[in-house]
Structure 1
Amino acid sequence: MFPARRAIPLASSILAVLLAGCETQMDRLDSSTASVDTFLQITAAGAGPLDGSTRYDAKTIEGLMPGYTTGTVLIGLENNTTNATVLFRKIYGGQVQALQILPGTGGRIGQIHGVTHHVSGPAGERPGMTFAQVGVSPSSCRMGGNLWLGMAICTSRGAPNVLLTFSFKGEAATSTTLPTGAVLAAGELQRIIWTPPG
């Protein structure tokens, strides 16, 4: 076991490494971003043709998502790390990591994470937007723990089975309480997380 005083810095360091991949994929959305190509929208039902009935295997997923290729990536969840199937989309001469997909029960998809600003949420949210831009209510949020220490986990205004995770800077990045004021407003949406409804 690590000493208690080392637990928070260690968790923050691990989180920074795990989030680095998705943070480099997206540009912060601000007034200079006049138009953003939208690959697909995550709704209460799923992400495009992907939903809770979709088999969790690369061949099936690629067959439903023409123009995308799959790979594997290690991601950090709140309480553990795990491998996910990642969907890449070619754009601007390169490729963007668009979705991270996790297995569920019965060999089906269990979660879909949108990790680029080219993916929108059920209420128009996009990774890279600020907490203020998203307009989510603080009452719908809780603070994460472990690998998501200092991150707000909020319910989308558009669907109860879609969560949004926000990161903060400064002292709020290791806080166990939701920040307020300008710090809260500046929180940055990192990912849109869909789970099957019901």
Structure 2
Amino acid sequence: MPARIAPAQLPFPPAIHEILEKIMPPGVPPLSLFTTMARDERLFGKFFAASLLDRGHLTLRQRELIIDRTTALCGSEYEWGVHMAFFGARVDFSAEQIEALVHGTPQDECWSAEDSAILQMCDVLHRDCSVDEDSWQVLRAHFAEEAILEMLMLAGLYRTVSYLTNALQLPLESYAMRFPVRMATRRPR
């Protein structure tokens, strides 16, 4: 099934081309999400101005936990699969953790206390669009306030990205991972 809105075609305007050259690994074509946004230079610029994929208050693993859990909760196999393909091995996600990001809970045995706090935040944000007091205190036990602000922004940004990828019905990138099939029942911590 084709995407609902066709991506922009080459050549891209110079400003868009420059950004795509910076963010894509050598030899990897721009993501369909990016080329679709490239249809409008203003929207493309606004989309990338909101990016939080730089060095901030979070480690790469913490960032990827938020992105992967949020996109999984939103059913965005497109974005989840791209991030798993590019970053899953770099942050040492085990096969059990990859499966748990999609089908598990923050209390699964495969997660550290810090990982669990991040995933709990993602789950309550997704469910309630807020963070309850118990979850907030768990976050505060592990993270500085600036890191928590970044976590909230990152989860919100990737909920927006999930809206885009799902509503546009973007076809999966050829190298992207697929959502794992639910494996055997796991024991919670």
Query: So what's the TM-score if we normalise by structure 1?
Result: 0.26
Q: Could you say which structure has the greater relative contact order, defined with CA pairs below 8 angstroms and 6 or more residues apart?
A: 2
Q: By percentage of residues, which structure has more strand?
A: 1
